[in-house]
Amino acid sequence: MTLSALWQPLTLGRLDLSHRLALAPMTRSRSNTDGTPGELVAEYYGQRASLGLIISEGTQPSADGQGYANTPGIYTPEHVEGWRSVTTAVHAQGGAVFIQLMHAGRMSHPDNTPHHRQPVAPSAIPADQNILTPTGPQKTPTPRELSGEDIQTTVADFRHAAASAIAAGADGVEIHGANGYLLHQFLSPNANHRTDAYGGSIQDRSRFVIEVAQALADEIGQDRVGIRLSPAMPLGGISEGDTASVRAQYRHLVGELAALNLAYLHLHHVGDDELLRSLRDIWPTAVLVVRYGRNREQIADDVAAGLADIAPLGRFALANPDIVERLRLSAPLNEVDPSTLYGGGATGYTDYPSLAHA
């Protein structure tokens, strides 16, 4: 297929977008040690503002939510000021920003957090994954099971973070319910062994995700809230069962979330096109789809097929700040330097050349 399907305008929540591309959320670990984004972060996002909808890297809503070192937060006044520089840079170039709210849950380590406490999760089941810490790779420890009161505190943390994002000038927030992090842990039967109202059945495992989404819709408006899900994504030690189980889980969850009329559903897709089509049919607003392994010629395929309204770009956009222009002109693309993906300074972050300087 051609890329022509990408160049149509779209209304998403309160935004009028001129095309069907967006920046996918990607952890880059360039914030200050206290979680405040600095000038380099603002420069990075400002460079990519032509993508229209900029979805930020995962941003912790609390100290408990931090998974990795040098990731941004959005729960202190300093965080709000740092993010304001980012939103100002993007808005100056005509783009819009949704800050992704990511609570890592058990995918964390005490050495990576400001309070150095044990990670939290729906159940005291370790992810058994290696995680990078300031002293090198370590195993994720056994997490502390959240109490019922802790769960309500966590919902309140998300609510506060969403309000803080809007105070920082963001156009909205994306709830990270994917990729093995806290919300995904609640959804997964191998990570959630609870016997209360937040575990057991599909309906109860979905409850926490729905409560977070409802709280954020109430706090900042449903048209400024998106959510990311990744059915059957085996990251962070997650295993969601067989195909029938995954389909039942996500058709129920997306059906419940659809009633909230959120701005968008963002799917990190791993190959079940039947499920993708059914979720597209359930969802009343915009659908964003990211697939692993797309080549340049395949970027528009889901939009052209009616499976998606927007095709967010990850590594293509990481290495090409002017990716929209390059795609329009069929121009060559910069290649990603994998050694500079996480942490460091400008190298491999803000120094990828644009066409004008190539």
Known catalytic residues are 181
Residues in the chain: 358
Phi, psi of 309, rounded to the nearest 5 degrees: -100, -25
- For 223-250, b where at least 16 C-beta lie within 10 A, e where not — what string? bbbbbbbbbbbebbbbebeeeeebbebb
DSSP H helices in 188-222: 202-220
How do beta strands 136-139 and 130-133 pair? antiparallel
User: Which residues, other chains included, contact 307 with Cβ-Cβ below 8 Å and sequence gap of 6+?
Assistant: 273, 276, 277, 280, 287, 289
Amino acid in position 306: G
Q: Using the 8-state DSSP alphabet, how is residue 223 labeled?
A: G
CA-to-CA separations, 354 to 61, 319, 339, 350, in angstroms, rounded: 33, 9, 20, 10
Q: Is 14 helix (H, G, I), strand (E, B) or coil?
A: coil
In 3D space, the residue among 286, 144, 272, 154 whose CA is nearest the CA of residue 207 turns out to be 154
Secondary structure percentages of the chain, helix, strand, coil, to 5: 40, 20, 45
CA-to-CA separations, 251 to 161, 189, 212, 279, in angstroms, rounded: 28, 16, 18, 7
Q: Furthest-apart CA pair in the chain: how many Å?
A: 59
